[in-house]
Amino acid sequence: MAKEYAQAFYHSQAWKNTRDAYYKLQRGMCERCTKELAEGRITLKDVEPGIIVHHKKHITPENINNPRVTLSFDNLELLCARHHNEEHKSKYEKRYRFDEYGNIIQIERKSNTQK
């Protein structure tokens, strides 16, 4: 879900046009899957369709009005769900997990002073 400051941008015609054009340019295939295929790390059957046009440099309140960040093909990447989830999970600390019975457990965050 987009952050509140980005809602208007993601509903704008400029973004929709850019997103659709980028998707067509990439022929609907996840760019990271395609790279893994070229490197021989996965097979053709493992290549996933791209479903999310991702901003490599994330949108912030400070750059939301900068088209070089928000609308430039240089800052976009078409990703499948798996690669998009990996991208965001690697940058953000998990807040919840499941115990052996399937119950949600909140994970206590360590402060910057704890090691």
Token pair of 25, please? 């340019």
Q: First vs last Cα of the chain: how many Å apart?
A: 32
> The dihedral of CA 23, 24, 30, 32: what is its sign?
negative
Which residues pair with residue 52 across a beta bridge? 79
Query: pLDDT of 24-78, one tens digit each?
Result: 999 999 999 999 999 999 999 999 999 999 999 999 999 999 999 999 999 999 9
pTM, full prediction: 0.73
pLDDT reported for residue 103: 72
Residue type, 59: I
Residue type, 105: I
> The dihedral of CA 11, 12, 15, 20: what is its sign?
positive
**In the predicted structure, residue 115 carries a pLDDT above the cut 50:** no
Query: pLDDT of 81-112, one tens digit each?
Result: 999 988 877 544 456 666 667 777 776 644 44
